[in-house]
Structure 1
Amino acid sequence: MKPHVKEVLIGLLIGLAANMAGTYLYIFFFSKLSLESTLKSALEEGFMGSLIALGAILNLIAFFLLLKKNQIYRARGVVLATVLAALLILISKFF
């Protein structure tokens, strides 16, 4: 595997982890329900896309930190994770 492909995959994993962490932190601080109850409610009531979008805010921080450290390929992976989150939101809104 080429070195830059490995760096993009690492960035993708960082972006996915940041998105999940952001979603969890939003639920932890702003939801009165437990994690499981909030996720079940989000699926039933159709606001799962909003939770994913709010979780993606941490991707912004990860992206700029990686750019500041001059890790361009990892930053590209974070952008790829954000695009995947956007596609997931799009799918959840229409299906």
Structure 2
Amino acid sequence: MIKRNVFIGFITGLSANVAGIILYILLFSDRGLDATIKDALVNDYLGKVIALGAALNFLPFFVFLKKNLIYHARGVLLATVVTAVVIAITKII
């Protein structure tokens, strides 16, 4: 049961991150989604876009805490840590 709750929180965190990336690109980029992601990959600022998208993880994290769903909140936190590791690996490589 606990693993299921953490997994649900993890999926929620990843979904919020993807939604944050899409929202950021649609609001602040004058190009389309594909063009912006390709440009970010070529010009080496994809990690910054991912990090800005991860800011949307605050919303489900605090909602889960407010509803006393601690293991769901742990899953969102785990998704945020995985995102940070991915950003660090992309910066090293």
TM over 0.5, yes or no?
yes
Computed over aligned residues only, the root mean square deviation of the Cα atoms, in angstroms, reads: 0.4
Q: What's the offset of the Cα at 1:94? A: 1.1
Structure 1 Cα separation of the partners of residues 52 and 60 of structure 2: 14
- Cα distance in 1 for partners of 2:25, 2:47 equals 13
Aligned length: 93
Q: Which amino acid letter does the alignment assign opposite residue 58 of structure 1?
A: L
Tell me which residue corresponds to 1:82. Answer: 80
- TM (norm. structure 1) is 0.96
Unaligned runs of 5+ in 1: none
* Percentage of matched positions with identical amino acids: 51
User: Which residue of the partner structure matches residue 9 of structure 2?
Assistant: 11
Structure 1 moving runs of 4+ over 2 Å: none
Cα drift, residue 45 of structure 1: 0.3
Displacement of 1:91 in angstroms is: 0.8
**Structure 2 segments unaligned to the other structure (5+ residues):** none
